[in-house]
Chains A and B, each alone.
Chain A
Amino acid sequence: MPYGYLGQTPNQQVKNSGVFSVGDAKALTDVGQLGGSLELIEEQTASSSSTLDFTNLGNYDVHLFTGHNINMSANNQFFRARLSNDGGSSFITSATQQRAGIRNTTTFSSDAKSTTDTFFGHYLTDNSGGYSSTADNGNFYLYCYNLLNSSKYSFCTSQSTGLEQSSSTYSAMFGGGVLPTAETHNAVRFLNSSTGTFSGVIKCYGVKQI
């Protein structure tokens, strides 16, 4: 299709570097050939917050969340996630969720798994916020699959980098999780798995699809 012409479309024979009309742009967007493929849905900043909820997930099969400069309010606390099936009015705490992953630190490496977890996915940061320093923050990415699909379980994979929660030594974690109920999950909550609070920036992206 020759782009960049306003009015009657010519029989274009050579490459054109004209201006896209609104129709041109829509036609290209509809086939995934215009615009970026990682679409920022929402960014939120937590400051001594107990929870951070994302209730607008757009319309995607695959979501990417990134966590940056995550700090917990005290030592020995993990950063976790939960899902909602009612738009964020409540979040699922049923002990039927499963996860498996690895904690790698400079002093040990260990399996971490559960078939009766009350959170969604693996630990998102191994964070030594108890050292009261924003320099030793945690960072992660979390891919979520099928959240909005009522016929599929919701899955996730994640990887993080930070400092281990009790010793302030380097920690890297990766793993995955599932909420094994085939239903729509239309909101995601991030929270301190203990009773404390957290600070940091979390972004929610949709991974582009046609």
Chain B
Amino acid sequence: MSNLRLINETTVTSGVSTISTTDVFSADFDIYKITLEGFYASTIDYFYLRLINSSGSVIATTYDVASLEMKSDGAFNNRLGTNFTAMFPSTNYLPNSEAENYNGVFYLFNPTSSSSYSFMLGQSNEAEYSAMYSNKYIGVLKQTSSITGFQLSVGTLGGTLSGGKIRTYGLRVDS
């Protein structure tokens, strides 16, 4: 059997400001791959990733994050934060049209480990303001609590999610 295993597929319901994928991380895998495809919002809005612990609580603290925002028509920007409230930096955007949609691939390391922080690597792409924005992300949740899911959200600027699909895969090593 292939070592990349689809665990969950979740489709956004239009009109919500958050979407949670719960109970997808377990001791079966140390590394997870998450693909986001076709995300957009009712208005251009900030887009955040937060992790969910085994008690079902969304964690909104102690994230260190960094990203490089690469624009096709302007200066590139470094976005940094320590002890931030989410795993994406503060100025990560979702576009407001289906055509311009946001897509990305993210890897999450050690989410369920009780002795390790949870780390994230990612890369995304979207169009907005008539330009292309590509982001490269790193992030860490500086807690050793067991993480079993994650939440994506908008709403800071009053928007709601209009579309998107989340697929979660485990990377398996069978010894």
Q: Which of A156-210 contact B (CB under 8 A)?
A: 156-157, 159, 174-178, 180, 182, 207-210
Using CB atoms and an 8 Å cutoff, list the residues of chain A in contact with chain B: 32-38, 61-62, 98-102, 111, 113-115, 122, 143, 145-146, 149, 151-153, 155-157, 159, 174-178, 180, 182, 207-210
Closest to A141 in B: B105
Across the interface, B4 reaches (CB within 8 A) one of A36, A62, A114, A175, namely: A36
* Shortest Cβ gap from B24 to chain A (Å): 13
- CB neighbours of B103 from chain A (8 A): 62, 143, 145-146, 155, 157
- CB neighbours of B2 from chain A (8 A): 35-38
Whether B37 contacts A61 by the Cβ 8 Å rule is yes
- What mask results when residues 135 to 175 of chain B are scored 1 for a CB within 8 Å of chain A, else 0? 01000000000000000000000000000010101000000
* Shortest Cβ gap from A184 to chain B (Å): 13
Q: Which of B106-129 contact A (CB under 8 A)?
A: 123-127
Whether A208 contacts B125 by the Cβ 8 Å rule is no
- CB neighbours of B70 from chain A (8 A): 100-102, 111, 113, 175-176
Whether B123 contacts A159 by the Cβ 8 Å rule is yes
Instruction: Tell me which of B12-20, B51-59, B80-88, B94-102 binds A.
Output: B94-102
- CB neighbours of B68 from chain A (8 A): 102
Whether A146 contacts B38 by the Cβ 8 Å rule is yes
Can you name 6 extra interface pairs (CB under 8 A) apart from A146-B38, A175-B134? A37-B2, A37-B5, A146-B103, A151-B99, A153-B127, A176-B132
Bound form: Cα–Cα A101–B70 in Å: 6
Whether A209 contacts B125 by the Cβ 8 Å rule is no
- What mask results when residues 37 to 65 of chain B are scored 1 for a CB within 8 Å of chain A, else 0? 11000000000000000000000000000
10 contacts between A and B (CB under 8 A): A33-B6, A37-B2, A62-B105, A111-B76, A115-B72, A143-B105, A155-B127, A159-B123, A175-B70, A208-B4
What range describes how many residues of B lie at the interface?
A: 35 or more
- B25 within 8 Å of A by Cβ? no
- B71 within 8 Å of A by Cβ? yes
Bound form: Cα–Cα A142–B19 in Å: 27
Closest to B40 in A: A152
Bound form: Cα–Cα A158–B134 in Å: 10
* Shortest Cβ gap from A143 to chain B (Å): 6
- CB neighbours of A177 from chain B (8 A): 125, 132, 134
Bound form: Cα–Cα A175–B134 in Å: 7
Between A32, A101, A176, A180, the greatest number of chain B beta carbons within 10 A of the residue's beta carbon is seen for A176
- CB neighbours of A209 from chain B (8 A): 6, 9, 165, 167
Given known contacts A38-B4, A113-B71, A176 and B101 CB-to-CB distance under 8 angstroms: no
- B27 within 8 Å of A by Cβ? no
Closest to A32 in B: B6
* Shortest Cβ gap from A197 to chain B (Å): 29
- CB neighbours of B9 from chain A (8 A): 32, 209-210
- CB neighbours of B93 from chain A (8 A): none
Bound form: Cα–Cα A157–B70 in Å: 11
- CB neighbours of B98 from chain A (8 A): 151-152, 182
Whether B132 contacts A37 by the Cβ 8 Å rule is no
Whether B127 contacts A180 by the Cβ 8 Å rule is yes
* Shortest Cβ gap from B52 to chain A (Å): 22
Between B37, B100, B125, B169, the greatest number of chain A beta carbons within 10 A of the residue's beta carbon is seen for B125
- CB neighbours of A157 from chain B (8 A): 103-105, 123-125, 134
Given known contacts A36-B1, A37-B4, A174 and B101 CB-to-CB distance under 8 angstroms: no
